[in-house]
Each structure stands twice: as structure tokens, then as C-alpha cells.
């Protein structure tokens, strides 16, 4: 979610200037003390003075004074804005603004058992914001239809902004240094990218992987992601490797060097790793579920996320040179959607709201 929001913000900064729209981003330094803010020019919400006093700030931090006063301080921002696009679920916005909320998906509402209490509370606050008049942007047609049904909002009133891979994700040879450090060989490993959370269908992926090994598969499975609430336990036997906390440059190398990206997720509002892999001309095998059918389309292989034999057969065919050539050709045919395209759709939506 953070990659999506920051990428969209950077593109909006550029596109808004081209289209004569005044655009600013808002940073709240108090939520990331000691950590640099977004890599775009921002208006900063002033940090209360009491958080800057070393020995006295412990009490206001413990009692969450800054959080409780944040709404009031946002309301008081005097930037003469007409549209306020929330990157999170801070429900307040400057006086006179119209509110826009990005809904990435409705999984926390439809399947709260997959999420933490905080994530569910986040989603419930978004519901209140939309019920109170906030307009909605989504990152796929599928999510827009879900939102339309859930909130009884006409599809024409929802912005389908879409999504894209950052420019860093592009075709090329992976760094030999990265391959050496991670002890990987180009084209000789399978890749999964995404946090190890319930909706990613991780138990299914690990199961079909090991069942494929029993039938002759010899490629290791590399899983890039952070263990989080609801993660499953995966034994480290050398065949399945979990890599956490890598930078974008290393991630690009992993995409470029992979035989294929495996993405059996059962619930996605977009599926950004699939777009990133396709941008690197990496073949994709994904679930034909939720927004992935739209995101991947005919640019990759789509399989049922609950049919193990179908996935096992797909993994075993990765030894077939002809089938691999077909998968690579499909990936290379991916159109070049960019974050500027996303930003243009959002700017058009802003104009529509402002002129209503």
C-alpha cells in the first residue's frame, strides 16, 4: 500500500503541474520520528512542542496527545484546497475541501479473520468516511465493482485509477553480485513476492511446491516478504527460502533472474508484484481470482487458486523450453502503463468533483 501511495503522489506532483492543478502532499512527521518523510516536497503538519522536549514527552506519547489533536490541526490547515485525498484513514480534512478516499480492497470487511484488529478498524473508519460523503478512488475495475455494490454507489461516481510498476522495474540482466550474495542462479528459481499473510494463499503455494518436487521439480522457491499476523510456519530446508527487508534494487534483480513469479493469492485489489514482474519481462503464473484476472489478463497464466493439480502441472511444465518461451512472450507483450497514467485519471477525477 505504501509503495502505491508514494508512487501515485510522485506522479501526481508532475502531472498536476502539467495540467495547471495546484497539488501538495501532507506529511505528519510525528508518526515517523527519526525516519525521513516521503521523497516528495510536502507540507508538514506541525509537531506539537511537547514532543520535542526529551524528558517531558514520555507522558504525551503514552497518552497519545498528538494523535488526539491531529484531527483538529489538520482541520486548521489553511491551504485553500478544494480536494483532500486521504492516504490513510485520518477522517478530518481542511475546511471547505471535498474528501477522496482510496480503497485498495474490501478484504478487511469481508474477511476480518485475515487481518489484525488495527487493519479492521482502519477499514471500518473508511466505511464511515464514505458513508459521510467521501468520494472513492480504486486501483482496479474489480475493486470498483465491489465498492459500488457494498456502498450502493454508481460505478460512474468511482475513479478507477489503476496501478503501475515503478520505472526501476524494467527488463535486463540481474546483477551478478546480487545473484552471488543470495546464492541464486539466473532462471533457476521460482519467486513469490508478498507478505506472508492469509489472503496470499501461502499454505497452498508451499504445498503444491513440495508436491511438485516429489514429481521431479528441482528449482528452489524464493519468497520475498515479511512475516506478519496470520503468517504460517515454513520450515527452512534449503528448498524454500524467505528473504525479508530488501531494497528495490535487489527486488528488481530477483524479478529479472526468476524463472517465473508465482502468485496464487485468493484476494487482491490490484496485485502490484504481478505488474512489477511483467515490467521486468518475468513470466507470471497467478490465480484467476479477484483483481488478478484484470491485472494479469492474457499477459500471464491464470489458474484456479484452489486446484493443486492444475498448479502442479504448471510447475512441472516449466522444464519445457517451448512453454517457457510462450510465457516469456506473454510477459513481454505487457503494455507500458505508467504512474503518470494513474495520476492523469486521478486529476480528471479531481476536476469532476471540483466542478460538480
> Any idea what the CATH number is for the domain that residue 192 is in?
3.40.50.2000
Q: What pLDDT, on a 0 to 100 scale, did the predictor assign at position 230?
A: 58
Q: What is the pLDDT of residue 79?
A: 65
**CB of 252 within 8 A of CB of 169?**
yes
Q: Are 221 and 240 in contact (CB under 8 A)?
A: yes
One domain for residues 186 and 321: yes
The reported pTM is: 0.90
Q: Are residues 343 and 317 in the same domain?
A: no
Residues 137 and 196 in one domain: no
Given this model, what pLDDT does residue 183 score? 95
**155 and 303 belong to one structural domain:** no
Q: Which of 251, 272, 349 is nearest to 6 (CA)?
A: 272
**What's the angle, vertex CA 290, arms to CA 261 and CA 165, rounded to 5?**
45
Question: Other C-beta atoms within 10 Å of 203: how many?
Answer: 12
Q: What strands, in cross-sheet order, belong to the sheet with 190-193?
A: 240-243, 221-224, 190-193, 260-263, 284-287, 301-303
Q: What is the pLDDT along the chain (356 residues), one digit of tens a residue?
A: 678 888 998 999 999 989 888 888 888 777 776 666 666 667 777 778 777 777 777 777 777 777 778 877 877 776 678 899 987 767 778 878 899 999 999 999 999 999 989 899 999 999 999 999 999 999 999 999 999 999 999 999 999 999 999 999 999 999 999 999 999 999 999 999 998 888 999 999 999 999 999 999 999 999 998 876 655 667 667 899 999 889 999 999 999 999 999 999 999 999 999 999 999 999 999 999 999 999 999 999 999 999 999 999 999 999 999 999 999 999 998 677 899 999 999 999 999 998 87
Q: Quick check: is 130 in a domain?
A: yes
Count, residues in the chain: 356
The greatest distance separating any two alpha carbons of the chain, rounded to the nearest whole angstrom, comes to 68
Residue 35 DSSP code = S
The secondary structure of 238-287 as a DSSP string is: SSEEEE-S--HHHHHHHHHH-SEEEE--S--SS-HHHHHHHHTT--EEEE
| Residue 229 within any structural domain of the chain | yes
The predicted structure's pLDDT at residue 312:
98
Structure confidence at residue 137 (pLDDT): 96
Taking the C-alpha atoms of residue 234 and residue 245, their distance in angstroms, rounded to an integer, is 18
Number of domains within the chain: 2
Domain range for 154 is 2-24+79-164+339-355
* 219 and 120 fall within a common domain: no
CA–CA gap between residue 104 and residue 137 (Å, rounded): 8
Give yes or no: residues 10 and 155 share one domain: yes
- Residue 124 shares a structural domain with residue 259: no
Amino acid at each position: 500500500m505504501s509503495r502505491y501511495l508514494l508512487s501515485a503522489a510522485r506522479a501526481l506532483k508532475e502531472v498536476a503541474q502539467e495540467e495547471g492543478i495546484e497539488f501538495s502532499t501532507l506529511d505528519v512527521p510525528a508518526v515517523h520520528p527519526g525516519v525521513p518523510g516521503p521523497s516528495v516536497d510536502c507540507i508538514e503538519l506541525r509537531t506539537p512542542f511537547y514532543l520535542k522536549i526529551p524528558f517531558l514527552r514520555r507522558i504525551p506519547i503514552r497518552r497519545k496527545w498528538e494523535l488526539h489533536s491531529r484531527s483538529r490541526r489538520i482541520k486548521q490547515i489553511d491551504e485553500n484546497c478544494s480536494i483532500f485525498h486521504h492516504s490513510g484513514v485520518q477522517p478530518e480534512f481542511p475546511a471547505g475541501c471535498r474528501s477522496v478516499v482510496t480503497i485498495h480492497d474490501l478484504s478487511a470487511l469481508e474477511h476480518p479473520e485475515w487481518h489484525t484488529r488495527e487493519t479492521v478498524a482502519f477499514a471500518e473508519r473508511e466505511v464511515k468516511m464514505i458513508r459521510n460523503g467521501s468520494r472513492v478512488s480504486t486501483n482496479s475495475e474489480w475493486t470498483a465493482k465491489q465498492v459500488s455494490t457494498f456502498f450502493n454507489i454508481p460505478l460512474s461516481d468511482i475513479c478507477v485509477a489503476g496501478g503501475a510498476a515503478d520505472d526501476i522495474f524494467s527488463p535486463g540482466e540481474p546483477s551478478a553480485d546480487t545473484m552471488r550474495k543470495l546464492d541464486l542462479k539466473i532462471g533457476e528459481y521460482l519467486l513469490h513476492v508478498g507478505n506472508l499473510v492469509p489472503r496470499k494463499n501461502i499454505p497452498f503455494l508451499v504445498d503444491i511446491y513440495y508436491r511438485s518436487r516429489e514429481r521431479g521439480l528441482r528449482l528452489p522457491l524464493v519468497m520475498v516478504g515479511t512475516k506478519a499476523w496470520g503468517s504460517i510456519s515454513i520450515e527452512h530446508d534449503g528448498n524454500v527460502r524467505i528473504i525479508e527487508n530488501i531494497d528495490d534494487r535487489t527486488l528488481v534483480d530477483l524479478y529479472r533472474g526468476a524463472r517465473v513469479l508465482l502468485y496464487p493469492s485468493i484476494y487482491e485489489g490490484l496485485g502490484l508484484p504481478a505488474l512489477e514482474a511483467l515490467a521486468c519481462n518475468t513470466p507470471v503464473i497467478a490465480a484467476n481470482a479477484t483483481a488478478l484476472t484484470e491485472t494479469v489478463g492474457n499477459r500471464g497464466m491464470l489458474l484456479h487458486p484452489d486446484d493443486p493439480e492444475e498448479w502442479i502441472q504448471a510447475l512441472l511444465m516449466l522444464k519445457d523450453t517451448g512453454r517457457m518461451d510462450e510465457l516469456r512472450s506473454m510477459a513481454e507483450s505487457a503494455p507500458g502503463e505508467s504512474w503518470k497514467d494513474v495520476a492523469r485519471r486521478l486529476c480528471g477525477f479531481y476536476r469532476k468533483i471540483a466542478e460538480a
